[in-house]
Amino acid sequence: MKLVNELFFSLIFFIIVSACSQNQEMQTQSVPIKIGFLGPLTGSQAVYGQWGREGVEFANASNIKIIYEDSQCDPKVGLSAFTKLTELDNVDGIISSDCSSPTIAYGTVAQQKSIPVIVVAANSPIISNIGDFVFRIRYSSEQDGKALADFANKQGWKNLAILYQDNDAGRGYAAETKKNYQGTIVAEENYVLASASDVRVQLAKIQTRNPDVLVVLSQGDDGAVILKQIKEAGIKSPLLTSGTAFPQSTIAAAGASAEGLYTTVGMYESDQWQKGSEFKEKFNEQTGKNGAYFVALGYDAANLFSQIATTCGKDKTCIRTQLANTKLYEGASGEITFDEKGELITGSLRMRQWRNGSWNVVS
Amino acid sequence: MSSILAQLLLNGLIAGAIYALVAAGFSLICSVMKFMHFAHGGVVAAGAYFLFMFSQWFSPVPAILLALVTTVLFGVFMDWSVYKQLRKRHASNAVLLIASIGLMILTTNLILIGFGADVKTIPLAQHNPVYTILGARITLIQVVIIATSALLFGLLYYLMKCTRLGKALRAVADNNAIAQTVGINPSRMYLATFILGSALGGIAGMLIGLEQNLYPSMGLSLVIKGFTGAVIGGVTSVHGSILGALVLGMVENLGIWYLPSGYKDAIAFVLLFVFLLLKPEGILGKRFERG
């Protein structure tokens, strides 16, 4: 009888243990991993945060839970939002659809805490060197600046002037352009975001140096006003800029002042990426909005985390390794493969020109 | 060189006129109500966005009138819903100041929700010819800004100096208690102040919107410049504020011709600190009485 009892209780014990472990396994599978989203959701750079957010929301990645925080494009605010996400919400990864300065601030801490970060919007070259937990899925200012300088060199423009926003991103663009340009830099002017609505004096200074080409490196809302003021000042030099610094909404807001502008262009914007074209169509159909490059990048970042979560769960080191091993991932924004620094490996960028209300690829 | 100097002076005048439009409404409210209405920047931004909204549906004149009326109502609503309630509770100026900053942030975010984060252009501003005066280039909208500013400041001067309303407003601004003894109703004067101040803010917003495009946080940067101009000229004097704003525009634009461009805002704030330390009442203002 004693033996029967022992067998009976052993059976019950195994059933309970087995049920518990099964339940735990089921819980691991059903509890979504948490991903923090950081970007400027308010302020003059909010467009970058909003685009990234739209893409993330469109991804419909049900196995990840996204917690959104507003960095206001400010390193201090971004860092405190990051601390909230990591300390209170215990997120397992970060999608940064943010400006360069806050991304550098919290990216460095994320590296120390071994939290994987996918950078969607920031383009400063400093981000490349933060560490192996930070991955960027857009092309960097290094690639952008080189493309601008190469184009100016090929056109035979001997004197170049630069006007850039004085922040990490703007300085990064300007440095890369200068590094690769073979002619003479005749003027280098900058402005801070707070005074971006009036750059007339900077333009007057540039005009006195009579450059063959003017490179304008702004981000966000200020681009349209700057283009208008360039035309009003009567500057006739060809204008060059980054395609991501001057998104389509800026071109539309600038109206006739954008005529003749050259920008860099990747495969997504030039409709040479089929998955990108399909994404744009689907996004437009469901939201009535145009899928800007940063929307597609937000979508890809969420999908990458979602895909990796099925393998890694909440294991951050595993997530990092899986991200580092990403090869030829066919995202909406393009093909994603990272180099040893976590930078997107991309083909060379092309140049396009805005003429009569449409883009023409010129190189 | 003379054409460059002319261009710099003209740029300074345009910037100054823009700052002055913001500073005038800010200073009017500050002198009568005795608190810093930083949410005036929100009223300015609202003016620009209302014009953007109405210009989608109406031709220019009704769109401008509707935008002006709506902006005035918005400013008056701010006073009625927040400041008036706080005044009833005998809130200090510090509380009103904090409330105004809160209202400024709220307005920016309401615009963000209503209109989105991307930059907007008012369709009326698409055709903007450029003229050359003494070698300096100026656009039609900039001419309109300078002309409208001059006209408004003239009207404001007449209103404040030559009408019963203006005299009553100045009486309340000078001494509220004595003004009441001669039969002036302060509540009505506060309402009139917000109507006038918000109308000035609305016109400023519409003109700036035509000149510079629209983005949700535009009001904050404008009210900072308006406030700086007002302090330089004398925050308790409407005319002093206008003068201060013009000085600010000129000094900023002439200053960065010689200094690196990044110092533009530094010039404005150095000027602000110099006045706060050495002449806090500003060029034409009167000292706030301690009490």
Tens digit of each residue's pLDDT (9 = 90 or more) over A264-299: 988 887 777 899 999 999 999 999 888 888 999 999
> Which of B8, B108, B111, B264 best tests the A interface by mutation, with the highest count of A CBs <10 A?
B264
Instruction: Please give the Cα distance from A185 to A352 (Å, whole number).
Output: 23
Share of chain B above pLDDT 90, in %: 51
Chain A residues with CB inside 8 Å of B14's CB?
200
CB contact under 8 Å between B216 and A44, yes or no, is yes
**Pairing status of strand A350-355 against strand A358-361:** antiparallel
> Which of A48, A201, A229 best tests the B interface by mutation, with the highest count of B CBs <10 A?
A201
Instruction: Please give the Cα distance from A325 to A47 (Å, whole number).
Output: 31
Domains and CATH numbers, chain A: 31-139+272-336 (3.40.50.2300), 142-265 (3.40.50.2300)
Q: What is the pLDDT of residues B123-153, one digit of tens each?
A: 776 677 888 888 888 989 889 999 999 999 9
Domains and CATH numbers, chain B: 2-278 (1.10.3470)
CA angle A16, A19, A25 (to 5 degrees): 140
- pLDDT reported for residue A25: 42
Q: What is the pLDDT of residues A100-144, one digit of tens each?
A: 899 999 999 999 999 999 999 998 888 999 999 999 998 888 888
- pLDDT reported for residue B244: 93
CB contact under 8 Å between A202 and B256, yes or no, is yes
The torsion region of residue B223 among left (phi > 0), alpha (psi -120 to 50) and beta comes to alpha
Instruction: Put the strands of the sheet holding A117-119 in their side by side order.
Output: A64-70, A33-39, A93-96, A117-119, A134-136
The answer to whether residues A173 and A144 touch, using CB atoms and an 8 Å cutoff, is yes
Interchain CB contacts (distance < 8 Å): A and B: 102
Q: What is the pTM of this model?
A: 0.74
B228 touches chain A (CB under 8 A): no
pLDDT of B204 strictly over 50: yes
Share of chain A above pLDDT 70, in %: 89
Strand partners, A119: A96, A136
- pLDDT reported for residue A103: 96
The answer to whether residues A169 and A48 touch, using CB atoms and an 8 Å cutoff, is no
Share of chain A above pLDDT 90, in %: 52
What 3-state DSSP class applies to A36? strand
Burial of A195 (0-12, 13-18, 19+ CB in 10 A): buried
ipTM of the complex in this document: 0.73
Q: What is the pLDDT of residues A225-267, one digit of tens each?
A: 889 889 888 899 999 998 877 777 778 878 888 999 999 988 8
pLDDT of A13 strictly over 60: no
| Tokens 């009441």, residue located | B180
Mean pLDDT of the A175-186 span: 94
| Six-digit token string for B127 | 């055709």
